[in-house]
Structures are given as structure tokens and as C-alpha cells.
A and B are shown apart, each in its own frame.
Chain A
């Protein structure tokens, strides 16, 4: 290095002076920058407008009562979204009912009861770090977790997803006789082998009337009298065991039902609720806490009567954002259920289900244009739900928020 470099400041100062001296140039620059920002911002809004127009023009045509109330069908003209809509409602409600208490409790312990001991504080910050990390985990990973933890419960209840323990279910053996009549035999214990037809045994019709069984051999003629035909079976007729679940049916492991889906979605939204609730709690001025403690309130009383009520608007906003996330999730549900054709709405927590994003995904993937229109209609329904959630969140925040200090 023979030549020492010129001091940068000296070298450039002339240039800088030249540039900065002109006020007009600075203003031009300012206007230019503002316009760049404007273009970028409006282009993102433009994309949204384009998307909405495209969806609305494509989907409004097929959005009708039939679509909202009917089951899916291979004929796009009569296919509907009802089971998927109900599946989504079940999912979101269950998810919120489970995730909200857990999330708020976690936020309270993390914010309001910070430990003093060194090792406890390490655990505390470790948990905190992991919650932040969990918020960034791709949701399909939670799907795999949900499959092992909730659907089959590590197989501790036996083979695969068979029910190891269940309540709220009645079993019966169902015969279908030659005259197209259904005969049912109640089953007290599921472990019993299926019923064998015996002359005179009590069987029930579909309507529930008890009848004495009339047994026929191979060579006997099928009775012409409908009343008799209704309670007749051949000696070799074999039944199938079917189950009827009440609305409070519960089983372990959960199987591929709504509850397993909701618990998996809970994993997805829990970090969101915890972080939102923590922020809401943190926003409560500490002077309020100190005043309560100073007046002799216990930490529990402080949380219950001062901090938590003050944080409610923020917590609710977080919960509603979490709901919006849950209703739009498809990937983890695909792992849990993956059902794309289902004609009934879930009747209990263990029932099979599908959700709106899955149904939309299925329709959008089909070659026929009519199904693409249906997918667009489904998106309108989904967007409407999201819009309602977000409006409620904004209104709640506005209404419930009081000045705190």
C-alpha cells in the first residue's frame, strides 16, 4: 500500500453537496419514493381485488340453496357443501373449546407467574422458546403428530384404530331377509358372536316392534303373507353387526373422527392463542398489578379480577384469528381424515368428517369446469366465514377496550 487512500468524506463531500444542494432534486426523490410505495401497496390490493372478482364471477352462479344444503355428488349440478360446512363448524367449535382454556392458562403461567429460581427460569424460557418455534412449524407436521397421538394413541388400545373403550353406543345384529325386510337383534355385549337365527327368538323390525322369529328351511316356500314374511328368515341367514352411536358417543382411541381433527388443529392454533394472550397480558400496565398486590390481593386474585379482565379484548382477538386459521387449514386434516366423499354431517365427536378446504381442494382438482365453479362457490362461503370472524374480532376489540391507565 504505497498510496494512502483519500479520506472518503473529503472525496465525496463535493458530490454529496452537489446532490443535496438542489431542493427540487430532493423533492423529486421524495415523490418518486412515495410513488414506489404506493404502487407496491396498491398492487397487493389489486391482486386481492382480482382474486375476489375472479372468485365471485366464477362462483356466484352456482351458489344457491341446493349447494348450501346438499351433499357432494358426481353430478356438479346437484352437488353441495353441507357435510363439509358442518364438518368445519364442528371442527372450529371443538378446536376453540379445547384450545382457548389451554392457551390462556399457558399465557397466564408464562406471563403472570414467572419463577424466581434459576433452574425453573431456565425451564420457563425453554418453554417460551418452544412455543415461539411451534408457531412456525408447517401444519402438515402436526397432522402426522395427530395421527399417532390422537387417532391411534400409539396403539396402546390394541390393534390400529379399533375402539378399545367406548360409551354411548348400541350394537345390534342386522338380518336382511329374502322379502327385503330388515330384522334386528340387540346385542348386549359386543364380544358375543353374531346371532344365529332360532325359531321363536325375539327380533325387532326397523320400526322397533318386537316379533317372534319364523324360521324356514331351504325347501320351504317363502311366505306370501307380508306380516309373516316380515319376521321370517332362512336357517342359513347370517347377520352383520352394526352399531348405532348416540350424540355423546365417545371412544378411545379417538379414531379418525372430528375430535381427532379438532385436537390436531388445536396443536396448530395453540401457539397463536398463547402468543396473542401473552401480548394482551403484557399490555396491561404493571401499575394495575402492583396496586392490586399493594392492596393485599393474592396473585390469583390479581389475575382473576384485574389482569385477565383487562386483557380479554386482546385474548378474544387472538382466539378469533386462531379460528380463522383453523377453518382454512387443509393439510393436517388430509392426514387425519382425507375423506372427500361424505354425505352426512357429523353426528357426534367421533364421527367421520370432511372440511370445507378439503372439499374445495377436491373440486378444484377435477377436470370438469363445472366443479371449478363449485370450488369457487365453496371459496365464497369460506371467505364469508373468515370475513365474519374478522369483523367480530375488530368489533370486540373496539367495544371491549377501555383505557387502562
Chain B
């Protein structure tokens, strides 16, 4: 993902950080010692890396290590108290929540950014007004039916669809695959694949019958060259464009998702850890934009800060239902915007 504004944005971001977070004296910054262990999702990793690198420039004696075992692998270590922070690209599952509960690990659930994908079309493509996940399946899967636009809708041009996709190594590909193909199902082998999003932009820009996808923020940069396909939200049945507002509100589903930090509340007693999390949340929006994610809404980020300040532990994505006296835990099927309130918190301790 090459962003022409990146160097400038980075300079601005770092200088702003330096001003905002300079500790009172260099000696005091050095006095802050300790280690912080982070593991988890490779999707969240770039944000955490940006935060850790910027933090270390202020506090050189705090050692932060970030590993990428994946969200599930991260939770496994987090639930036994091995790590201080777990990066997660999905909410904690009831099973993982129970594990943390059994081990007495209290945690804070803090959304730090949103990850959205845009499905893009050529500007001359005037026939597509909306696409469903089913359509995407038909276009992208190996056993999908749509090889020509007319296969999707008889009124559409009888012309072969030129399919573009980010490389299979990218997290964007993984995420798109997860939504479109699920666990099984493989992508058609004859896609034009490139690790460089610029190639995808040029490809779709130059071909009337092309379709492609990449990170939403990258589409924002290229709105003059491409148009995004409105994607039908399977819950509301409404076609939604990947605007920052729709990504933030959660309407742009299922191609957007919140990214979380799970923070061990016991570790938060350590001054280094406290400083780091304060620093992270304060600048999450900046770091998220820098690595091409969408910042969370002001409401959500204010809520996250208040949870942190009041040490409101637990998750809003697991509910407890009494079943013959024995508690049963289930997943709460709500978007972040609807679920993330203090009343919904289910503490693990």
C-alpha cells in the first residue's frame, strides 16, 4: 500500500507526538523502566508497532516486544497471564473469555481502529449499482458462476469480468477471503494479483470491465480514478458505500471490522504499562491513519478512554445466560457501535 502522502503524514504525526507527549525531563523519561509483552493479530500489528516505536523514542528504557501469533494464538497466551496486551482483529470469544475468567485475568477491551475493504470498479462502469456478498462469491471463487458480467445480471454487458486482487500474502486478501469464501472455498487462480496496490488501481482504472478490492483508506486516496461498489449489508439489506462514516458506524458490513487491544488490568499497575496504554489510546487515530486504517468514532474512542480511566474491565461481546442455574456464555451479535456501552460489560473477574 503505497500512499503518496505517507512521508508527510508521518513527519506531521511524529512531530505532533513529540510535542504532545514530551515528558517533563529527559531523566524522568529514562526513569521509566519495565517490559511490556504484546502478542496477537498480525492485522493490528502495524498499529501497535507504530505506537511502540513512537513510545520508545520518548521512554528509551521501556522494552516493548510485539509478537504475531494471530488473534487466537494471542488470546491463548493472554488468558493465562503470559502477555500484557493482546492485539485482536475480532472480539474475544466466549471460550477465550471463560479461560481468562478461570485464570483470574481481568482485562480491558479497547477498540483502536477500524479495518474496511472497498470493492472498486472502473469509472465507466455504469451498470453496477450494488453488489451482494453472493455476487462477490460468484465473481471471486473458483467454482463461482460469474465469469461474465451478464452471468450476474442478464441486463449487464456480455463481457468477461477482469478480476484484480491483492497478493495472497496480504492481510487484506486473508480478510476478504474470510468474508467471501469462509473456511472452505478457494479463489479463482486466474485473478491478476499484485502486492502493490498501485498496480491494482492502474489495472481497474484502465479496464471498463474490471473489478478489484483493497483497504478502504486506499480507495479514499483514489476516488478520482475509481468508484466503489455499494455492498449490500446482509442484516439491513441496504447497499452501503465504504465512506469513513459508514465504516465508523458499522453499516458497512461485512467488509469492515473493529480492531481491538485487550489489556491485562493487573499489568496496568506498572507505570510503564500505564503510560504506554494512555499514549496508545491518545494517538490511536493517528497511528491507525498512518498505517491506512480508519480511526474509531469519537464516541467509541471516548468510551474506550473512560473504560481505561475507570478500569472498567470485561467484554461487551459475550453475554451470560442462566441455564438451569449454571451460567452459559454466548456471543453477543451486535456491531461495535451498538454493543460498546458500560451496561453491556461482562467482567471476567
Write the residues of chain A forming the contact surface with B, with a CB cutoff of 8 angstroms. 71-75, 159-162, 174-176, 179-182, 194, 205-207, 238-242, 244, 337-344, 352, 365, 367-369
Q: Provide the main secondary structure of the chain A interface.
A: loop
Q: Which residues of B contact A179 (CB under 8 A)?
A: 24
Partner of A174, one of B68, B270, B290: B270
Name the CB-closest residue of A to B271: A176
* Cβ-defined contact, A74 with B53, below 8 A: yes
Q: How many whole Å from B196's CB to the nearest CB in chain A? A: 7
Q: Report if B206 contacts A (CB, 8 A).
A: no
Given contacts A73-B53, A182-B31, A343-B56, contact A174 B271 (CB under 8 A): yes
- A161 and B275 contact, CB distance less than 8 A: no
**Known contacts A206-B27, A338-B68, then 14 further A-B pairs from the complex at CB < 8 Å, ordered by chain A residue:** A159-B80, A174-B33, A174-B272, A181-B28, A240-B268, A240-B274, A244-B33, A340-B67, A340-B68, A341-B48, A344-B63, A352-B65, A367-B2, A368-B2
Shortest Cβ gap from A122 to chain B (Å)? 42
Chain A's closest residue to B51 (CB) is A74
Chain B residues with CB under 8 A of A161: 82
B57-73 at interface with A (beta carbon < 8 Å): 63-69
| Chain A residues within an 8 Å CB radius of B23 | 180
Complex Cα gap A242–B1 (Å): 39
Q: Using Cβ atoms and an 8 Å threshold, which residues of chain A touch B63?
A: 342-344, 352
Partner of A182, one of B103, B169, B196, B271: B271
What are the 6 tightest A-B residue pairs by CB atom distance, in nearest-first order? A240-B270, A206-B31, A176-B271, A341-B66, A240-B269, A182-B31
Task: Determine how close the nearest CB of chain A comes to the CB of B55; give it in whole angstroms.
Answer: 10
Number of B residues with CB within 8 Å of any CB on chain A: 52
Quick check: A242 and B196 within 8 Å, CB to CB?
no
For the complex, is B303 an interface residue (Cβ under 8 Å from A)?
no
Partner of B66, one of A207, A340, A368, A369: A340
Those of B20-45 within 8 Å (CB) of chain A = 23-25, 27-28, 30-35, 37, 39, 45
Nearest CB to that of B53 among chain A residues?
A73
Least Cβ–Cβ distance between A281 and chain B, in angstroms: 42
**Chain A positions within 8 Å of B35 at CB level:** 242, 352
Quick one: which of A74, A182, A242 contacts B50, CB cutoff 8 A?
Answer: A74
A365 touches B52 (CB 8 A): no
Asked if B1 contacts A368 (CB within 8 A), the reply is: yes
Contact for B270 among A180, A242, A365, A369, CB less than 8 A: A242
Chain A residues near B143 (CB-CB < 8 A):
none
CB-defined contacts of A160 to chain B, threshold 8 Å: 80-82
A68 to B166 alpha-carbon distance, docked (Å) = 32
Q: Is the CB of B195 within 8 A of A367?
A: yes
> Closest residue of chain A to B170, judged by CB?
A367
What is the distance, in angstroms, from B140's C-beta to the closest C-beta of chain A? 20
Distance in angstroms between the alpha carbons of A333 and B48 in the assembled complex? 22
- Using A159-B80, A367-B196 as known contacts, say yes or no to A337 and B67 having CB atoms under 8 A apart: yes
The chain B residue sitting closest to A161, CB to CB, is: B82
Which chain B residues numbered 280 to 320 have a C-beta less than 8 Å away from chain A?
A: 290-291
Contact A342 B65 (CB under 8 A): yes
CA distance A159 to B79 in the complex (A): 12
Report whether A180 and B24 are in contact in the complex, using a CB–CB cutoff of 8 Å: yes
Q: How far is the CB of A313 from the nearest CB of chain B, in Å? A: 41
Say if the beta carbon of B100 comes within 8 Å of chain A: no
Distance, CA A344 to CA B53, complexed state (A)? 12
Residues in chain B near residue A339, CB distance under 8 A: 65-67
User: Would B169 and A365 count as touching, CB distance under 8 A?
Assistant: yes
Within 8 Å by CB of A74, from B46, B103, B272, lies: B46
Tell yes or no: B197 within 8 A of A by CB: yes
Residue of A with least CB distance to B27: A206
Check B34–A182 contact: CB distance below 8 A.
no
Residues of B within 8 A of A176 (CB): 32, 271, 274-275
B197 lies within 8 A of A367 (CB): yes
Closest to B10 in A: A75
Contacts of B30 in A (CB 8 A): 206
A227 CB to closest chain B CB (Å) equals 14
Which chain B residue shows the least CB distance to A230? B28
A interface footprint on B182-220 (CB within 8 Å = 1, 0 otherwise) = 000000000000011100000000000000000000000
Compute how far the CA of A161 lies from the CA of B23 in the bound complex, rounded to whole angstroms. Answer: 34
Among A162, A207, A343, A365, which residue has its beta carbon within 8 angstroms of that of B64?
Answer: A343
Q: Tell yes or no: B49 within 8 A of A by CB.
A: yes
Given A74-B50, A352-B65, A175 and B196 contact (CB-CB distance below 8 Å):
no
CB distance from B310 to the nearest CB of A (A): 14
Q: Can you spell out 18 A-B residue pairs with CB atoms less than 8 angstroms apart?
A: A72-B53, A74-B290, A176-B32, A176-B275, A182-B32, A194-B269, A206-B30, A240-B267, A240-B271, A242-B272, A339-B65, A341-B48, A342-B66, A343-B52, A343-B53, A343-B56, A367-B166, A369-B2
CB of B263 within 8 Å of the partner chain: no
Please give me the residue from chain A that is nearest to B291 by CB atom.
A74
| Cα-based distance from A182 to B275 in the complex (angstroms) | 12
Say how far A94's CB is from chain B's closest CB, in angstroms.
19
* Smallest beta-carbon distance A264→chain B, Å: 16
Q: Which of B244-274 contact A (CB under 8 A)?
A: 267-274
Q: Tell me, in angstroms, the Cα distance from A239 to B270 when the chains sit together.
A: 6
Report chain A residues within 8 Å CB of B52: 341, 343
A239 is contacted by which of B48, B56, B68, B269 (Cβ under 8 Å)? B269
Q: Which of A161, A238, A339 has the largest number of chain B CB atoms within 10 A?
A: A339
Q: How far is the CB of A81 from chain B (nearest CB, A)?
A: 15
A181: B residues at CB distance < 8 A: 28, 31
Q: In whole angstroms, how far apart are the Cα atoms of A74 and B25 in the complex?
A: 26
Q: Choose one: B56, B166, B271; the contact of A175 (CB below 8 Å).
A: B271
Within the complex, what minimum Cβ distance (angstroms) separates A207 from chain B?
8
Q: How far is the CA of A160 from the CA of B99 in the complex (A)?
A: 13
Query: Bound complex: CA of A195 vs CA of B336, how far in Å?
Result: 39
Distance A352 CA – B169 CA, assembled complex (angstroms): 27
Chain B residue contacts of A180, Cβ below 8 A: 23-25, 28
Task: For the complex, give the distance between the alpha carbons of A161 and B49 in Å.
Answer: 24
How many Å from the CB of B208 to the closest CB on chain A? Answer: 27
Contacts of B196 in A (CB 8 A): 367, 369
Chain A residues lying within 8 Å of B274, measured Cβ to Cβ, are 176, 240
| Cα separation A385 to B37 with both chains bound (whole Å) | 30
Contact indicator A338/B49 (Cβ below 8 Å): no
Of all chain A residues, the one with the shortest Cβ separation from B70 is: A338
Bound CA–CA A368/B49 (angstroms) = 15
User: In the bound complex, how far is the Cα of B28 from the Cα of A241, in angstroms?
Assistant: 18
How far does the alpha carbon of A206 sit from the alpha carbon of B23 in the complex, in Å?
15
A241-B84 Cα distance, complex, nearest whole Å: 13
Q: Is the CB of A338 within 8 A of B271?
A: no
Contact across chains for A242 and B24 when beta carbons are under 8 A apart: no
Question: CA A179 – CA B64 in complex, angstroms?
Answer: 24
Q: In the bound complex, how far is the Cα of B69 from the Cα of A244, in angstroms?
A: 27
Chain A residues in 8 Å Cβ range of B82: 160-161
